[in-house]
């Protein structure tokens, strides 16, 4: 403790909220405090940046899905318009598939399309 003319002098740190007997002790404690908090702030900022990257990737994926769905819709419309015009002009459109369908969903859609194309058109 510092004594000046009968008084005890203590130094208070607003950062650490503690009293110190010397300026050197205060500065050392504040430096350690700053280092600890800088690392914590860095981790918070990194977490925030990574969370934003995930949100941005999700938004991008949604946009791609929407664009892909629109492209599929347009391609299907063109296909059905051309096929229906052909059927209207020539009575039928025989179709064979040369590619093996591995995906069960694609197989079901293909089968349903064959059934419906004969029934609806």
Give the Cα separation of 42 and 37 in Å (integer): 8
All residues at 6 or more sequence positions from 111 whose CB lies less than 8 Å from its CB, including other chains: none
Q: What distances in angstroms separate CA 22 from CA 3, 8, 42, one per listed residue?
A: 11, 11, 30
Show pLDDT as tens, one digit a residue, over the chain (121 residues). 455 566 888 999 999 999 999 999 999 999 999 998 998 899 999 999 999 999 999 999 999 999 999 999 999 999 999 999 999 999 888 877 666 655 665 666 666 676 666 655 4
65: tokens are 């899905």
Q: Is the pTM value of this prediction over 0.85?
A: no
Domain ranges of the chain: 2-92
DSSP result, 24-71: HHHHHHHHHHHHHHHHHHHHHHHHHHHHHHHHHHHHHHHHHHHHHHHH
Give the Cα separation of 68 and 61 in Å (integer): 10
């Amino acid at each position: 403790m510092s004594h000046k003319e009968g008084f005890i002098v203590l130094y208070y740190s607003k950062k650490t909220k503690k009293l110190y007997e010397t300026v050197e002790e205060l500065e050392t404690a504040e430096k350690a405090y700053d280092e600890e908090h800088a690392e914590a702030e860095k981790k918070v900022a990194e977490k925030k940046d990574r969370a934003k990257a995930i949100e941005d990737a999700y938004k991008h994926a949604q946009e791609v899905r929407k664009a892909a769905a629109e492209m599929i819709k347009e391609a299907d419309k063109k296909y059905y318009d051309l096929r229906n015009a052909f059927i209207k002009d020539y009575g039928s459109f025989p179709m064979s598939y040369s590619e093996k369908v591995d995906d069960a969903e694609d197989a079901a859609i293909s089968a349903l399309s064959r059934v419906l194309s004969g029934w609806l058109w």
